[in-house]
Amino acid sequence: MTLMDADNRYGSVSRAVHWIMAALLLVMLASEVWFEALEHSVSEGSLMAWHQTLGLTIFGLVIFRGLWRWLNRSRMAPPAQWATMAKLGHIALYALMILMPLSGLASSLGEGDPVTFFGWTVFGYGPEIEWLEDSGEEVHEVLANVLWLMIGIHVAAALAHQYLLGDRIMKRMA
């Protein structure tokens, strides 16, 4: 098992970061559900602190993953007939995973609330900026819905490659 990607298989770093991010993204995208389930037993501030911590963690992993992917750029080319679609799909996923935390940050800063990361204050209290809060919340919600859609397309494409096309592409990330 190698750290770097090979021609026919992702390395251990790429695979670990992929699956950790997949799990964290599903938890984050389902946060509206667990916010509602826990709203009577945990304060909204505590829930938001965890949401922000997970969001900033994912943001950091996206940056790391992008750099790692750049280091491995000459490896793991998709099949030629699917290269454009694969590239566009990955660009969309990366853009969404970068824009989601930025829109969440805009929303929190617009509310004037602090932004925390594992209890450390990244941005403190500030003035309320209603237009920033409103637009940040709206963009954050729309991006979350688009990200759900893109994750579904990503999974469907992987399953189609594995079972319909028979190219065993999922083995590269397993």
Tokens coding 5: 């990607």
166, containing H or E segment: none
Contact 115, 105 (CB under 8 A): yes
The 10s digit of each residue's pLDDT in 115-162 is 999 999 999 999 999 999 999 999 999 999 999 999 999 999 999 988
- Residue 170: pLDDT band with limits 50, 70, 90: confident
> What is the C-alpha to C-alpha distance for residues 122 and 2, in angstroms, rounded to an integer?
35
User: What 3-state DSSP class applies to 58?
Assistant: helix
What pLDDT band is residue 74 in, cutting at 50, 70 and 90?
low
Average pLDDT for 50-57: 95
User: What's the confidence (pLDDT) of residue 76?
Assistant: 65
